[in-house]
Structure 1
Amino acid sequence: MTMTLTVPPRATEERLTGLPVAVIGAGPIGLAAAAQLLERGIDVVVYEAGNQAGAAVSQWGHTRLFTRWEHLIDPAARRLLEAAEWVAPASDELPLGRQLVDDYLTPLAATDELAPRIRYGSRVTAVSREGMDRTRSTGRASTPFLLRIQTDVDTVDVLARAVIDTSGTYSNPNALSSSGLNPLGSPGAAAYISHALPDVLGAERARLAGRRVLVVGAGHSAANTLLKLAELAAVAPGTEITWAIRGADPVRVYGSDDDELEERGKLGGRVHDLVRSGAITLLDRFEIERLDESDGACTVTARRGSGRVSVIADVVVNATGFRPDLGMLREIRISLDEIVEAPRALAPLIDPNLHSCGTVDPHGVAELAHPESNFFIAGMKSYGRAPTFLLLTGYEQVRSIADELAGNHAAARQVQLVLPQTGVCSADIGSGGSSCCAVEPASSEAIWEAISSAQSATVDAKSGGCCA
């Protein structure tokens, strides 16, 4: 594979002049960042690994969001769209993921302002500084960023004056093992593992109907899948549903009636009813150690209490959550919390042991800054392993970053945001009890917002909530 430097080295003092801001990822937050930057007259290039805007969202496009349209559209993006005579969807509707892509992200990416600036099929594999690894300090802030881009035909290096990483976490799921490592066992067992949000009633119906399905996870992505499996089991004899959680109580899923995101609040009650009726078998304190392929199925072995148990499944749904891919940032200077893997100043504000999505304080460039000047992680990836992200939060993050890069430092630090309170995530917070978000690592992006709800005929009614 050939290596090409698309921008020649610069020897002048004004090495950043004329370079664009690089945005990694053309999802909701990445496109919002681009819209905010363009509105301030700042050139931008967006690098997207997929072949369309919102490629990650499309993977869970069959899932309905918890949040209504009115809270899913970035203000600067709306202004771009309305200038192109776009008609906004009804503000009170709860869209599916694919509707978010088709009715918002796709037309936004197609605007005259954004379309020439998006590079599809361009995966960022590394970020550094031109001619400098992370150990060199002299002149660092005035040295262009270097991004290594992998395409189908080539690998190239490009330069940028600043970088905003909005690449999300959906492509990097947590391990099934409670240790955070991949379970021991036979390599063949991987064939029986499903991603967090299978299309139970659509594309993956044949794989799940009449099978023994084990859903692992105590978040709303797990609940969404459980509800759809229950609907499938009603018409597909032999479908067996087992739900495994690491904690002693699925309180985060069951939630309460106080959730301001109404459909998310209903979700837990439906799952609870199915567990009580016996339609779903719940295994608590289930800490997976190994997966083994045996007789055309997967044997899942786990510690449970003081002993070990095994469950045989035809499909294992990994709904244990997501984590950021930090490997591509190895050569730049970032400062992350040791536990949550979020920017150090942001981590205390989003710690899932203390906060729900509705109790996170507004935050912006001051909390997102790293030792590396003009490098920012925004969106779901900025939350590290915390599951409490909302799109509204990400939109305010990139608005603040855009003001900072435009030199309006005061505006960058005037962050304002009103988030919905949630009974789902804030039970007993501050009273010495356990936050439901602390029961188990949750699935994200969700992902940036609790990818989870049900959209079937029997379950009316995601990503607008939190605690996936």
Structure 2
Amino acid sequence: MNAPATTELPVVVIGAGPAGLAAAAHLIDQGIEPLVLEAGPTAGAAVREWSHVRLFSTWGEVVDPAAEKLLAPTGWTRPDPATYPSGGDWADLYLQPLADVLGDRVRTGARVTGVSRTGRDRIVDADREQQPFVVHVAHTDGREERVFARAVIDASGTWATPSPAGGSGLPALGEKAAADRITYRVPDLKDPAVRARYAGKRTAVIGSGASAFTALAYLADLAKSDDGSGTKGVWILRRGISGSTFGGGEADQLPARGALGLAAKAAVDEGHADAVTGFRTEAIERADDGCLVLVGEDGRRLDPVDEVVVLTGFRPDLSFLDELRLGLDERLQAPVELAPLIDPNQHSCGTVYPHGHRELSHPEQGVYLVGMKSYGRAPTFLAMTGYEQVRSVAAAIAGDLDAADRVELTLPETGVCGGAGLFDAPDAAQGDGSGCCAPAPQLVQLGAPAAVGAAAAEEAPAGGCCGS
């Protein structure tokens, strides 16, 4: 079967999440036909999996202008721009209506299993750029399909590929065997079955970002409730406590994002969670009573816990792009031009200047990774960043480079900026910034400022099969 002329083909968008649907809206605005392929059963399938979590961006910051333009004729009105949606709100009140407007341009239950150039694997140079893309699709009913495209926008995100607990980036020894007591998502403690799993139990939370903050705050709320007596969190940090550990706080220009860090600090200050610093997980062992024991790379063994919540970030699935010539940073797996702007090894600022098609381009012309996937393994992505990305990319595909290069977004400051964003470097691990070496990893309890980075007595384990 011969592929049609490239100019007659749609642009394939992989993923019907916020960035993917916005990409489709911007392509339509440019007079280009999109085809959105979504592996899940509905638009926003990944967002729906964290429907219980409230965004730290307001409705005014999570609706794309081109998408709103498509929705307006249907009578759709944006919810109060000053209020904060949950993931479920975002999916039900915005993403699904947008997918409905796009109609047959969105195909659900369609998983992309491979992307290449028609008749050219990644080795072949001859006439490569003149060949359309070919996208292999597996449908939930068992059908397989080939779709030809003039360009490919991968907005499939990273939700399906969370990072493991192991400090080396590989699963800890025993991590897979302990899967029945480990989750890689923020637990929905409003769900009665999930709530019963954590109530009165001792739960380790591994991670240092917004998701970990949220989980700690949820567990603290459970501990203070009538049915949550004995609930205890153990916060596992791979680095030490520093001024940036809890985010920007009141200095964050997104107040709800700053409040997450403050809520996590309150959970520790009030005794609902203990913090273990400088701990890089090597193994997860199951005790005789079924509880889990975390073992560090330095040989330390923590007191048993009932559950483990691993929130160490996400990583992109690049397997189905293997026949394309991508230019990715060797650390972050993000486009090489974008990586220096977002690399937490160099800084912990969440502020990245708006960027578009040039920073997102690859040696393989006509393919773009956008949205959360464009950040590779880097954290702190904002929906409005993705909307600006796809606006620029759609304009570039249409040949309007003036519009593609124009900056149409100002991003809020995080209130956090410093070096050594990821590792326990000497100048980042000390609470007071002094000394030439990181302090010995230890369990700390944060209260008065003088307690930061200092040893504090560990409280007895609370509740559960690891109970007192």
Shorter-chain TM-score tier: 0.7 to 0.9
Q: Whole-Å Cα distance in 1 between the matches of residues 424 and 175 of structure 2?
A: 29
Is 1:249 aligned to residue 237 of structure 2? Answer: no
The percent identity for this pair of structures is: 46
Conserved? CA contact 1:365–1:404, under 8 Å: yes
Q: Whole-Å Cα distance in 2 between the matches of residues 254 and 361 of structure 1?
A: 19
Could you give the per-residue CA deviations for residues 111-160 of structure 1, whole angstroms, max 9, x where no partner exists?
Answer: 1xx11101100111111112211000111111111111111222222211
Which residue of structure 2 aligns with residue 456 of structure 1? none
- Per the alignment, do residues 394 and 254 of structure 1 end up closer, same or farther by CA in structure 2, a change over 3 Å counting? closer
Which residue of structure 1 aligns with residue 129 of structure 2? 141
Which residue of structure 1 aligns with residue 196 of structure 2? 206
Conserved? CA contact 2:231–2:272, under 8 Å: no
Conserved? CA contact 1:220–1:253, under 8 Å: no
- Per the alignment, do residues 410 and 355 of structure 1 end up closer, same or farther by CA in structure 2, a change over 3 Å counting? farther
Could you give the per-residue CA deviations for residues 38-61 of structure 1, whole angstroms, max 9, x where no partner exists?
Answer: 111111100001111111001111
Which residue of structure 2 aligns with residue 281 of structure 1? 274
RMSD of aligned alpha carbons: 1.8
Match of 2:231 among 233, 239, 254: 239
Aligned length: 420
Which residue of structure 2 aligns with residue 157 of structure 1? 146
Which residue of structure 2 aligns with residue 337 of structure 1? 329
Comparing 307-316 with 45-54, greater Cα deviation is found at: 307-316
Q: Whole-Å Cα distance in 1 between the matches of residues 40 and 58 of structure 2?
A: 26
Taking structure 2 as the reference length, the TM-score comes to 0.86
Which residue of structure 1 aligns with residue 287 of structure 2? 294
- Per the alignment, do residues 213 and 345 of structure 1 end up closer, same or farther by CA in structure 2, a change over 3 Å counting? same
Identify which of structures 1 and 2 has the higher relative contact order when contacts are C-alpha pairs closer than 8 Å and 6+ apart.
1
Match of 1:219, as an amino acid?
G
1:449-460 matches, within 5 Å, as none
1:163-174 matches, within 5 Å, as 163-174=152-163
Conserved? CA contact 2:205–2:212, under 8 Å: yes
Q: Whole-Å Cα distance in 2 between the matches of residues 163 and 253 of structure 1?
A: 38
Match of 1:317 among 306, 309, 312: 309
Is 1:400 aligned to residue 392 of structure 2? Answer: yes
Which residue of structure 2 aligns with residue 100 of structure 1? 90
Q: Whole-Å Cα distance in 2 between the matches of residues 395 and 121 of structure 1?
A: 24
Displacement of 1:407 in angstroms is: 1.2
Q: Whole-Å Cα distance in 2 between the matches of residues 93 and 149 of structure 1?
A: 38
Conserved? CA contact 1:400–1:411, under 8 Å: yes
Conserved? CA contact 1:252–1:439, under 8 Å: no
Q: Whole-Å Cα distance in 1 between the matches of residues 105 and 348 of structure 2?
A: 35
Match of 2:54 among 55, 64, 67: 64
1:91-130 matches, within 5 Å, as 91-111=81-101, 114-130=102-118
Could you give the per-residue CA deviations for residues 172-198 of structure 1, whole angstroms, max 9, x where no partner exists?
Answer: 001110100011127431111112211
Displacement of 1:268 in angstroms is: 2.0
Q: Whole-Å Cα distance in 1 between the matches of residues 247 and 27 of structure 2?
A: 41
Is 1:83 aligned to residue 83 of structure 2? Answer: no
Match of 1:118, as an amino acid?
V
Give 5+ residue unaligned stretches, structure 2. 426-468
Conserved? CA contact 1:148–1:157, under 8 Å: yes
Could you give the per-residue CA deviations for residues 255-291 of structure 1, whole angstroms, max 9, x where no partner exists?
Answer: 4321111122222223223212322111111111112
Comparing 199-208 with 370-379, greater Cα deviation is found at: 199-208
- Per the alignment, do residues 254 and 37 of structure 1 end up closer, same or farther by CA in structure 2, a change over 3 Å counting? closer
Q: Whole-Å Cα distance in 2 between the matches of residues 78 and 88 of structure 1?
A: 8
Match of 1:291, as an amino acid?
I
Taking structure 1 as the reference length, the TM-score comes to 0.86
Match of 2:282, as an amino acid?
E
Q: Whole-Å Cα distance in 1 between the matches of residues 186 and 424 of structure 2?
A: 20
Conserved? CA contact 2:238–2:423, under 8 Å: no
Which residue of structure 2 aligns with residue 185 of structure 1? 174
3-state SS in 2 of match to 1:246: coil
3-state SS in 1 of match to 2:234: strand
Match of 1:168, as an amino acid?
G
Comparing 247-256 with 284-293, greater Cα deviation is found at: 247-256
Displacement of 1:301 in angstroms is: 3.0
3-state SS in 1 of match to 2:303: strand
1:359-438 matches, within 5 Å, as 359-423=351-415, 425-426=416-417, 429=418, 433-435=419-421
Q: Whole-Å Cα distance in 2 between the matches of residues 360 and 95 of structure 1?
A: 24
Between Structure 1 and Structure 2, whose CA radius of gyration is higher?
2
Is 1:73 aligned to residue 63 of structure 2? Answer: yes
Give 5+ residue unaligned stretches, structure 1. 1-7, 441-468
Which residue of structure 2 aligns with residue 443 of structure 1? none
Q: Whole-Å Cα distance in 1 between the matches of residues 16 and 195 of structure 2?
A: 30
Comparing 384-393 with 232-241, greater Cα deviation is found at: 232-241
Conserved? CA contact 2:62–2:384, under 8 Å: yes
Q: Whole-Å Cα distance in 2 between the matches of residues 281 and 359 of structure 1?
A: 30
- Per the alignment, do residues 361 and 41 of structure 1 end up closer, same or farther by CA in structure 2, a change over 3 Å counting? same
Could you give the per-residue CA deviations for residues 363-399 of structure 1, whole angstroms, max 9, x where no partner exists?
Answer: 1111111011100000000001111311111111111
Match of 2:116, as an amino acid?
S
Q: Whole-Å Cα distance in 2 between the matches of residues 226 and 288 of structure 1?
A: 19
- Per the alignment, do residues 71 and 186 of structure 1 end up closer, same or farther by CA in structure 2, a change over 3 Å counting? closer
